[in-house]
Amino acid sequence: MTTEPPPIAPGPAAERPGGARPILVALAGQPNVGKSTVFNLLTGLDQHVGNWPGKTVERKEGAFTFEGKTYRLVDLPGTYSLTASSPEEVIAREFIIRERPDVVVALVDAAILERSLYLVAELVSLPAPVVVGLNMMDVARQEGMEIEPDVLAAALGLEVVPMTASRHVGVQQLVEAIARAARGDPLPAPRRPEIRADHRQVLTQIEERIAGWVPQPYPQDWVALKLLEGDEQVTLLMKESLPAERWEAVHQILRHHEDALLAVTSGRYEWIGRMIRAAVTRPRSGPIGLTERIDHWATHPLWGLVILAGVLGLTFWLTYTVGTPLLNLLDVYGVQVLAELARAGLAPISPWLAGLVADGVIGGAGFILTFLPILVIFFAVMGVLEDVGYMARAAFVMDGFMHLMGLHGKSFLPLFLGFGCNVPAVLGTRVIESRRARLLTALLAPLVPCTARMTVVAFLAPAFFGRAATLVSWGTVLLSLAVLAASGALIGRALFRGERAAFIMELPLYHLPNPRTIGLLVWQRTTEFVRKAGTVILPVSVVIWALSVLPGGSVESSYLAAFGRWLEPLGRLMGLDWRLIVALVSSFVAKENAIATLGVVLGAGEGSSLAQTLASTYAPASALAFLVVQVLFIPCVATVAALRQEAGWRWMFFSLGFQLSVSLAVGAAVYWAARAVGL
């Protein structure tokens, strides 16, 4: 674009009180267009992740400076359109209408230009200057497409910046375009899509009737269009704003044009069609090459599952072979050394304080620290799978299985994250659109055996069962997955009857992973875990420690032991004595506490190892029942906190009660079955 150097004109930002306020830029785009890559390139680590007020939708904000000015960049949720059908879409459009960003960057995928321009068609109807980032130019070229950005810009009446964000191409130009738009440089007026010809008159009729009655800051023509689309939120807004007889008139018109949604969306695609015909000089030649070939296997009903099993197996293998030695190293040389140092240093002052710091504080914090290697590796592998585009295929092949639980494929990703840690699994349920499916997935996520639970199994199974340990470990995993499936079917049928979620999901083109995007994803998930876990695990760890030494100072005579003995009649149903019950209770802080607690209450370390003591103390039936109950028991406190945040108090308590009863029932069943076969 050849424009003259612009006069220093006061941009919208300068009109705001204070003048020096940073320029507000919103980043919009459909899912899978490389939005997070662009966001990360622009802001680096200078970003803040939180939630949109009152919503469980992630809000990312960052800042960058250019030519001495500060730009505040807000990442809008990735959405295909701006209807009111999901909280993400409402957030995106409300932000643009209410916060009035100085510039809205609309990122589109050049390789799927037709579909990804749809969001632009919605954005140009809103009152904000739009700059189009035409991303994935390299992929489009590989697909044999030729696009002329200048012609597209002229046709759209918007500035268009060709980019390949994964290779950092075009980012500088995008920033310059943002700066120009923020300065209020005369942007060519955008051409707006029009409603399909057969509905133009109706639109005018509605506009006439609502004229003057639309509350600020909503644009009148936009409201008219959304009314015709049948938008629930805007319909409610106008019903409240219009006098009754006026609303009745509007309502009458709308009732006669219930099919208008199709006319509006068709109008947008007609508009897109004109842009495409102008700017795309050569359409995609032939079928999608690489993606087609990979998907031939990856989405096959049988081979797709085989590939998925392989991918999952490899993920676990990598996580545990690399992560477990690191975990042990950190535990032995980091946490234990630190705890002993603290104990030795503080014991002369006060044995109480020494215990509090060494067992309560360092013990709790140590859990977080030692699990980091495993979580980082797991998150990294997951990040690669997500970024490459494979997770959508995994969701696709798992759709049939998820249907058994009344869910669909999309719930698979958060559940899979649960194998690493249940906390991100519960938080990850946000990707699911329907509230029912989101809630059900969050309730099921804690039934996925996480790394911490598996660590307990991996330690105890060889101690109890020697050679049969691998078999027992796999058995526990399979059993807990079977319980998960059964619980899903049960809860889904009993509590959410009649509501069925629709499965419709884009399968993005495969592309090479971007290390920066994955790195930041791992960083965000890990820090989120540390923040969540840290704030709840520490206090609960201290409380459990206090219960285990009060009032006498030894575990045997503690409140915790008394509690365990009190529950022993119940425990006997599962073959558990008070010590195993106490171990279960302590696992509420952090799952692998069960091992440490058993070590304490069994008085291991004098002559014989914990493994030997365990094997000689408990019958195989009890041991098996303990492993099963442990894997299915109520989740750790960090997961419970995440559940409360995502689902609310009521469902959190439901989840606790449900898992408590299920774990005890299944444990009892396993115990008596094992007894019956003579174990």
Partner 1 sequence: MNRRHRRERCSCALLACPDGSVPLSALQPGESAEVAQVLCGHGLMCRMTSLGFTPGAEVTVVQNYGYGPLIAQVRGARVALGRGEAGQLYVRRKAA
Q: Rounded to the nearest whole angstrom, what is the least distance from the CB of residue 262 to partner 1 in the complex?
A: 6
Decide: helix, strand or coil at residue 369.
helix
Q: Which of 36/83 has CB closer to partner 1?
A: 83
Indicate the residue among 140 and 163 with the shorter CB distance to partner 1. Answer: 140
d(CA 341, CA 208): 79
**Region label for 678, one of left (φ > 0), alpha (ψ between -120 and 50) or beta (otherwise):** left
Q: Which is nearer to partner 1, 348 or 498 (CB)?
A: 498
The amino acid that residue 86 corresponds to is S
Helix axes 362-388, 451-465, angle to 10 degrees: 110
Task: Give the pair of three-digit tokens for residue 474.
Answer: 């796999």
Query: Based on CB atoms, which residue is closest to partner 1, 180 or 268?
Result: 268
230 vs 334 by CB, closer to partner 1? 230
Minimum distance from residue 234 beta carbon to partner 1 (Å): 13
| DSSP for residue 410 | G
In whole angstroms, how close is the CB of 294 to partner 1 at the nearest point? 12
CA distance 431 to 79: 11
Residue 416: CB minimum distance to partner 1, A: 17
Nearer to partner 1 by Cβ, of 255 and 650: the residue is: 255
Separation CA 252–CA 250 (nearest Å) = 5
CA distance 469 to 315: 21
Q: Which amino acid is at 82?
A: L
Closest approach of Cβ 498 to partner 1, in Å? Answer: 12
Residue among 19 and 287 whose Cβ is closer to partner 1: 287
Can you read off the two tokens belonging to residue 419? Answer: 């194998």
Smaller CB separation from partner 1, 60 or 410: 410
- Work out how close the CB of 449 gets to partner 1 at its nearest, in angstroms, rounded to a whole number: 27
| CA 465 to chain CA centroid, nearest Å | 38
**Smallest gap from residue 424 Cβ to partner 1 (A):** 24
Q: Element (H or E) spanning 364, and its range?
A: helix 362-388
The residue ranges that bind partner 1 (CB under 8 A) are 80-81, 83, 85, 111-116, 118, 229-230, 232, 235, 255, 258, 261-262, 265-266, 269, 284, 288, 291-292, 295, 299, 301, 392, 395-396, 399-400, 408-409, 433, 500, 502-509
d(CA 137, CA 171): 13
Dihedral of alpha carbons 106, 107, 111, 116, sign: negative
Helix (H) or strand (E) holding 1: none
Smallest distance from partner 1 to CB 505, Å: 5
CB of 440 to partner 1, least distance (A): 16
Distances in Å between the Cα of 511 and the Cα atoms of 136, 146, 294 are 10, 19, 12
Helix axes 649-676, 435-444, angle to 10 degrees: 40
Task: Pull the structure tokens for residue 23.
Answer: 């320029």
